[in-house]
Amino acid sequence: MIDAIPLTIEDVVVHCRALSQSIIEVESPATKESLNFILLEKLEWLSIKLDEAGIMENDYSVQ
């Protein structure tokens, strides 16, 4: 079942850490690529939320 509770910034940070560890541990190149894509999406979401909260002043968004 899908949880409808919105993610917090802290939740996404935990997701990013787990994804990073998984990318290090996994051996399959295709799986690594998929995990990297998911990590990129999470980091972009995190960047947007930090910018909206006024926490991030510099533009570190992925282009």
What pLDDT, on a 0 to 100 scale, did the predictor assign at position 17?
A: 97
Q: Specify the DSSP element, H or E, that contains 45.
A: helix 29-52
pTM of the model: 0.77
What pLDDT, on a 0 to 100 scale, did the predictor assign at position 57?
A: 62
What pLDDT, on a 0 to 100 scale, did the predictor assign at position 52?
A: 86
pLDDT in tens, 9-61: 899 999 999 999 999 999 999 999 999 999 999 999 998 888 888 776 655 55
Dihedral sign of CA atoms 28, 13, 3, 40 in order: negative
What pLDDT, on a 0 to 100 scale, did the predictor assign at position 58?
A: 59
**Pair 16, 46: CB distance under 8 Å:** yes
